[in-house]
Each structure stands twice: as structure tokens, then as C-alpha cells.
Amino acid sequence: MSHWPLILAWLLVALGAPSLAEPATNRALPGAPALQPTRSFKPPPKINYREPAREYAERRQGGWNFFLERELAERQPEQADRVVKRLEAKLSDVLRLLPEHTHDRLRRLSFFVMAGSNAAAGGRDSGLEFFRRTDPDFHPRLDPRWRGAVVIYSAKNYLWQNDYWSVQLLVHELSHAWHLEQWPEKQPDILNAWREAVEARLYHGVKDLNGTILEKAYAAHNQLEYFAELSCAYFWKNEYEPFDREGLRRRDPGGLAMIEKMWGIHAPPPPASPRAGKVE
């Protein structure tokens, strides 16, 4: 059994992506520009965020709780102001995409914004990550305050993301939060839909927006990423097939039905489990 927390360590190259200019429903992808958003993965560096203890400057803005690494807030106040303003704006965009009944729960999350790889105590140069409430108990390098929290590892990197990725990253991580704040890792509805999709190879040999064939899309990685990636396709957009909600309906109707059930689209979602967030 692995207790490694949910990780989306994305080295992102986001060029020519569409902007958030459409309402939550009926979001058709525009014509493909010359350069499309892509992502690649690299192993994250092993940074100790627990020792020495990090200091934060707390900000409450737009109904969200932000904790800025203090050296970012004090040494780069303009960048700190910009990243909080952008996160607030993009989180507001994300809430417009997601069902209204999810908003109160998601607003309880904390957002830790780090100074990046130039931090005096070290850091990462990119990536966002959701940590469930128990993760710091199992990982000695995690800040013990990172419970029920989304960590933005580099303010500079998040500001660099275009409008597509700045929303995509948040939808993905908030989807992990929606899942693990209420249900266990192996919630049967999610696990069974993922297994059926993998058995049918629905996410093998899919095209990305550039027309490149992906041997195995990230949705096939495990049931956790399956839920988060399909949530992106349903509520926002995806950079590989299925690109949007209608594409998901055609390619993976079982996955679409699971997303609608767990997000409570047509009826209340399953009740929260006492095993919420359990590592299995």
C-alpha cells in the first residue's frame, strides 16, 4: 500500500490555448491553433517542506483562504498580489463551471502558494497538488499544515500559465478534493467505471489536440486520475480525447454517468463516507 499523496507534477507547456470566454455549458473547442497546450511529466524533486518550518502570510480574498510563503509575500509583493488576484479570478471561473451545491465544500479548502525553486529552503518550479487531511501524517517532508489543501508550488509558474491551463489545473485538483474529502480512494462507483474503461482500452491510442497519438492517456493511470481527468472533460475541456462533454458521452458513457452521479448533476451525490480520504 502506498501512502504517497495525489500528485500532479506537471511540467507544463501551454501555448495558444483557448481562453475562458464561454459559459459552463455547451463549451465547444475552437478551431485548433498552430500550437496546442501539451504536458509532460517529470519526477518531482524531494523537497523538505516540513523542516525548516515554512512561514506564511495569510490572506482571505474573494471567500478563499490563501497562505503565501512569507518570503514570496515580503520579497516579491507585486508577484504575490498578482498571483492571489489571478487565483481568485480563476477559482471564480471554476465555480461557474461546477454545480452550485459543490461550492461551499470547495471553498473550505486552503490554498498554499509557494515561492518556487528559488525559495531559501528549496522548492519546486511547477505543479499543483491536492493533499488530503491525512497525507502529512504519512510523509515526513510535507508541511503538517497542508491538510485539505491545494499547494501551488511556484507563484511564478502559475502566473505563466495561459487561460486554458490556469483553469485546467484548478478543475483537476478540486476534483481530487471533491472525491477524497467525501469518499475513499476506492469508491466503488469510480473504481468500477475506471476498470471498465481500462479493460475496454478507451484511453489507449487517443489523439491529443495536436493529432499526436497517446499510447496511454493520463485518465487510464488510476481511478483517482480517471475521476479528475473526466471531470475536466465534463466541466471544462481536455487536451486529449475525449476533449469535452459530448466527446465523453460518445467515448465513455459509463464514465460520463459516473461523473454525473458523483457530482450530483441529476440527483444528490452519494452520501459522504466515514472512510473519506482513506488510503487503500
CA–CA dist 252, 261 (Å, integer): 14
Tell me what pLDDT residue 40 has: 58
pTM comes to 0.87
CA–CA dist 176, 130 (Å, integer): 7
Tell me what pLDDT residue 169 has: 97
| Domain definitions of the chain by residue range | 10-14+43-162, 188-262
Tell me what pLDDT residue 29 has: 30
CA–CA dist 3, 92 (Å, integer): 32
Segments in the chain below pLDDT 70: 1-42
- Give buried/exposed letters for 173-201 (b at 16+ CB in 10 A, else e): bbbbbbbbbbbbbbbebbbebbeebbeee
Compute the Cα dihedral for 31, 249, 179, 201 and give only its sign.
negative
> Element (H or E) spanning 167, and its range?
helix 163-180
Q: Could you list the beta-strand ranges (E) of 114-187.
A: 128-131, 149-152
Cα Rg of the chain, angstroms: 18
Tell me what pLDDT residue 4 has: 42
Tell me what pLDDT residue 68 has: 99
Tell me what pLDDT residue 38 has: 55
Q: Which residue from 165, 174, 71, 50 is spatially nearest to 116, judged by alpha carbons?
A: 71
Compute the Cα dihedral for 221, 187, 261, 182 and give only its sign.
negative
Q: Could you write out the DSSP letters of every residue in 49-88?
A: STTTTP-EEEEEETTEEEEEEHHHHHH-HHHHHHHHHHHH
